[in-house]
Structure 1
Amino acid sequence: MELNHLTVTYEEHIAILTLDSPPANALSSAMITEMRATLQQIENQSDAHAIILTGAGKFFAAGANIKEFVPAMGDYQKGIDMSKAGQDLCNELEAMKKPVIAAINGPALGGGLEVAMGCHYRIASDKATVGLPEVKLGLVPSFGGTQRLSRITGVATALELILTGKHIDSHQAQELGIVQVTVAADELMTTAKTIAHSFVEGNSMQSVTRAVESVVQGARRSFADGLQRENEIFGELFLTDDAKEGVQAFVDKRKPDFRHQ
């Protein structure tokens, strides 16, 4: 499909998705549609092993396109539909079996932060800020922000950030666990690529994707159900050529030759 709101490039098995809708990379309905279709395409590409999501210009993403809200005011179903489209995008990001890293280059506000929280790992520039200011518009975060933020920071801190609508810098976000790493702006993409490679380089993609599945899905299940799925995945991997190769390579004291099968 033709992309008008983002760009996709590939570097050594890493897919880089860049939100590119000046001036602030607002998450319009058209951008959300493009992102969902592109993510599905990358999920099906065997030569793409990890994904980095970032923004063009000074913003990661400044949130939803508020201008689209104006004609929808007073229509309950349109509000439901807008929220669901954003939730579906974030759910699909989280459900990706390949590692997804958010490289937060600038402000990630409202829906922008919600999209970042849907990613598996978050790196922030020291120039980045994050926040959920929807209450200032008479609304609430609706792309999953009330649920994901509370699971990351705890209920009290999530309520503080949501009810005040305040923006916090990347260092504060790291202290709260919203981002995992903060780096200088000119080191952001280099660091993101290094971390992406560290997640997949030298590993079988069979085990990488199953590990992502086990951790992400397990976090949403009971402990017992998570253990059960982990147990099943371990057994399923015993049937793969890569696991046989990896175990034999360990015994032979050599590097494995994974074929990702």
Structure 2
Amino acid sequence: MNTYQNLLVSIEASIASITINREAKLNALNAQTIQELQEALTDALENTEVRGIILTGAGEKAFVAGADIKEFVGLTQEQAVELATRVQTELMDRIATSHKPIVAAINGFALGGGLELAMACQLRIAAEHAKVGLPETSLGIIPAYGGTQRLTHLVGQGRALEIILTGDMLNAARAYEIGLVNAVVPMEQLKTAAEALLRKIFRRSPFAIAAAIEAVNASLEASSGGYQAEIAAFGRCAAGPEFVEGVQAFLEKRPANF
């Protein structure tokens, strides 16, 4: 098993547990963490002993509090498009098309890229104190890792637009109410609830499980061009002046002057 700087990985009873271990940074997705996630997921998906995966964050504050915004600053439109395309295809799509079920155990804030990561998983269970959202418009950009598409598929156009355009956070109960998460449990039960869900799935045919995931994903293929539209729009935003103002305002803890 590989050794990672930003992940903790273990395998027990056919379940691979992958924990993003940057608690001091609220488990934010920087380039190294994304690379390590790609490697850990590939290993788990190729390991014949593994039948399902749990993805979570270290501690009780954050699942993933977002992408590392500093890595977006100064990108040209072309570089922003290249970055979003790479993360979308090499990580998010890899999760979404996994032939093994992946459960996001949302142990705290799942914001921006963190919610996009959770939405790429087949199933989501949230701790009662968790909060989720896509606040990118507050920074002058939009979700770039599939958020505009997967959120719409999960909760519908109207709710997706409200969440994205306002940038507001939702508590776990509201996320469950609108179908964004499958279950809400006390924090101390989060791991066991995710494991129990996978064990229930393990009683079914692995071949049929993989086929079902593929078939459900096929129902979304008609709108697959939306991911490219999202990436292109992100590129335009990331190279624009409002993103500069948005990041500066965020760092200075003041309202942005858009």
TM over 0.5: yes
What is the alpha-carbon distance in structure 2 between the residues aligned to residue 180 and residue 44 of structure 1?
26
Q: Which residue of 1 aligns with 2:18?
A: 17
1:69 match? 72
CA distance in 2, matches of 1:10, 1:157: 37
Q: Secondary structure at the residue paired with 1:103?
A: strand
Structure 2: which amino acid aligns with 1:115?
L
Unaligned ranges ≥5, structure 1? 223-261
Give 1:186's match in structure 2, choosing from 188, 211, 215.
188
1:214 is matched with 215
Query: 1:41 matched to which residue of 2?
Result: 43
Residues of 1 paired with 2:29 and 2:121: CA distance? 16
Cα distance in 2 for residues equivalent to 1:84 and 1:147? 14
Give the partner amino acid of 1:135: T
Structure 2 counterpart of 1:103, from 102, 105, 113: 105
Distance in 1 between the 2:139 and 2:169 partners? Answer: 15
> Residue deviations 1:118-153, cap 9 Å, x none?
000000000100000000100000100011111111
Distance 2:220 2:140 in 1: 31
Question: Aligned equivalents of 1:38 and 1:172: distance in 2?
Answer: 31
> Quick check: which has more Rg, 1 or 2?
1
* Cα RMSD for the two superposed structures: 1.4
Separation of aligned partners in 1, 2:80 and 2:157: 25
Q: Tell me how far apart the structure 1 counterparts of residues 69 and 222 of structure 2 sit (CA, whole Å).
A: 34
Letter in 2 for 1:132: L
What runs of 5+ residues in structure 2 fail to find an aligned partner? 224-258
Distance in structure 2 (CA, Å) of the matches to 1:96 and 1:192: 17
| 1:40–1:217 Cα change, 3 Å | farther
Q: For residues 48 and 123 of structure 1, what CA distance do their matches in structure 2 show?
A: 20
- Distance in 1, Cα, partners of 2:122 & 2:87: 17
Give the secondary structure class of the aligned counterpart of 2:18. strand
Alignment pair present for 1:53 and 2:52: no
Q: How does 1:82-93 map to 2 (within 5 A)?
A: 82-88=83-89, 89-93=91-95
Larger relative contact order (Cα-Cα within 8 Å, sequence gap ≥ 6): 2
Aligned mates of 1:163, 1:219 — CA distance in 2 = 23
Deviation at 1:54, TM superposition (A): 0.5
Task: Specify the alignment match of 1:138 in structure 2.
Answer: 140
1:259 paired residue number = none
2:32 to 30, 33, 43: 30
Query: Which whole-Å CA distance do the structure 2 matches of 1:130 and 1:176 have between them?
Result: 12
* Matched residues, number: 219
Secondary structure of 1:163 counterpart: helix
Identity %: 40
SS at structure 2 position matched to 1:9 = strand
1:191-210 CA distances to partner (integer Å, 9 max, x unpaired)? 00000111113x33222222
Partner SS, residue 60 of structure 1: strand
The residue matched to 1:122 in structure 2 has which SS?
strand
| CA positional deviation for 1:220 | 2.8
Distance 1:140 1:12 in 2: 39
The secondary structure found in structure 1 opposite 2:184 is strand
Name the TM-score, length of structure 1 as normaliser.
Answer: 0.80
Q: Is the CA contact (8 Å cut-off) linking 1:32 and 1:85 kept in structure 2?
A: no
CA apart distance, 1:79:
0.8
Runs of 4+ off more than 6 Å: none
AA of the residue aligned to 1:67: K
1:221, distance to aligned residue in structure 2 (A): 5.1
Assess if the C-alpha contact under 8 Å between 1:109 and 1:133 holds in 2: yes
Question: Per-residue displacement from partner, 1:171-210 (whole Å, max 9, x unpaired)?
Answer: 0000111001000111100100000111113x33222222
